[in-house]
Amino acid sequence: MNVSDFDFELPERLIAQTPLAERTASRLLVLHKDTGKTEHRTFTDLKSYLNPGDTLVLNDTRVLPARLYGVKADTGAKVELLLLKRIEGDAWEALVRPGKKIRKGAELHFGIAPETSMKPLLTAVVEEEGDMGARQIRFRYEGIFHELLDRIGQMPLPPYIKERLEDRERYQTVYSKHEGSAAAPTAGLHFTEEYLEEIERKGVNLCRITLHVGLGTFRPVAVENVREHEMHSEWYSVSEESAALLNRTREQGGRIVAVGTTSARTLETVGQRFEGSAIEACSGWTDIFIYPGYRFRVVDALLTNFHLPRSTLVMLVSALAGREAILNAYREAVEREYRFFSFGDAMFIT
């Protein structure tokens, strides 16, 4: 299976560049995975495809203001840092730019104007080098780290969003709770608190789990053979209450509906962990990679945005609905000018 099997033509104009809050109602393409049939609706029609007893699974992670701009201590050259995940204490995995010029031992300063001699709010020292600009760094600072990060960090918006997002909550879901992600679980950005209440009133359960989105979500596939691609690990957690709700849903014949690929990956991780038995509260690291041929253990239906060609996310949805059905649906979406990627329209695979 080659990465080129998941290629399709995507006009650049269809990559959404405007936050959802500034647009009219999002569109919803419904794909029936058993038949390949598609329907074209609006997002608020989602409720009509959910049944009493179904459980909607939400990833309640919050995005860190994880993008930092600073300078190299020795030269004053500008640097950019994107925090991906905390390893332990003040040690983090991060992406750096320019990667070729930031080597092991480099010291980076953040929160200080280059022309002053004031002490930086954050100092980062590169401890290990990885590939594609990845580094392990350790911070030094005085005070509370997250308060400093909130003060000088910026939201890690996708690179095609050029303007700065003044209201940070536009890049958080309305149900976000546990801070730790380097990117938003964007399928959840479509929901308002009021619409979730409407769904609950219909008898649909809401289940919250956590997966902190890191490099695994947006790292490109750099190999031709899909099976050779390695996913980076991301931290997940499922509470006792959520595990009990998932088990009860199954026992009573309801469907488990994942909101976003991050929720789907978490659910399938615990599905593998507790194969053949009831799901239990758990947490840990997952590097699960889902592509066609994978057997889903937990997820019955999926709400997701439209993804970029040749991405691991297109491979995941192809595993659920079939590659040809997905590519046909994507061709329809392009013809009808659906908006793609983080701030785009939505697809419901049922």
The parent domain of residue 314 ranges over 3-63+168-349
99 lies in a domain?
yes
160 lies in a domain?
no
Strands 134-141 and 234-238, sheet pairing: unpaired
Q: Which amino acid is at 251?
A: E
CATH number at residue 184: 3.40.1780.10
Last-in-domain residue among 91, 117, 152: 152
Instruction: Give Cα separations from 192 to 25, 171, 199, 228, 292 (angstroms).
Output: 12, 13, 11, 39, 33
CATH number at residue 107: 2.40.10.240
Cα(265)–Cα(215) distance, rounded to whole angstroms? 14
Last-in-domain residue among 99, 118, 152: 152
Look at residue 170 in the predicted model and tell me its pLDDT. Answer: 80
* Helix, coil or strand: residue 262: helix
**135 DSSP assignment:** E
Cα(195)–Cα(192) distance, rounded to whole angstroms? 5
**Sheet containing 256-259, strands listed edge to edge, beginning at the edge strand earlier in sequence:** 38-42, 27-31, 346-349, 301-305, 256-259, 55-59, 205-211, 234-238, 282-286
Angle at 119 between CA 118 and CA 125, to 5 degrees: 140
- Same domain, yes or no: 247 and 179: yes
37 lies in a domain?
yes
Cα(188)–Cα(264) distance, rounded to whole angstroms? 13
Cα(242)–Cα(233) distance, rounded to whole angstroms? 22
* 151 pLDDT more than 80: yes
The pair of structure tokens assigned to 290 is 């889902």
pLDDT tens string 302-345? 999 999 898 899 999 999 999 999 999 999 999 999 999 888 89
pLDDT tens string 95-124? 888 877 788 889 999 987 555 557 889 999
163 lies in a domain?
no
- Same domain, yes or no: 229 and 288: yes
- Same domain, yes or no: 26 and 80: no
Q: Provide the whole-model pTM.
A: 0.88
Angle at 319 between CA 317 and CA 324, to 5 degrees: 80
- Same domain, yes or no: 85 and 200: no
Number of compact structural domains in the chain:
2
Last-in-domain residue among 152, 182, 203: 152
162 lies in a domain?
no
Element (H, E) at 68: strand 67-72
- Same domain, yes or no: 17 and 75: no
158 lies in a domain?
no
pLDDT tens string 248-282? 999 999 999 999 999 999 999 999 999 989 999 99
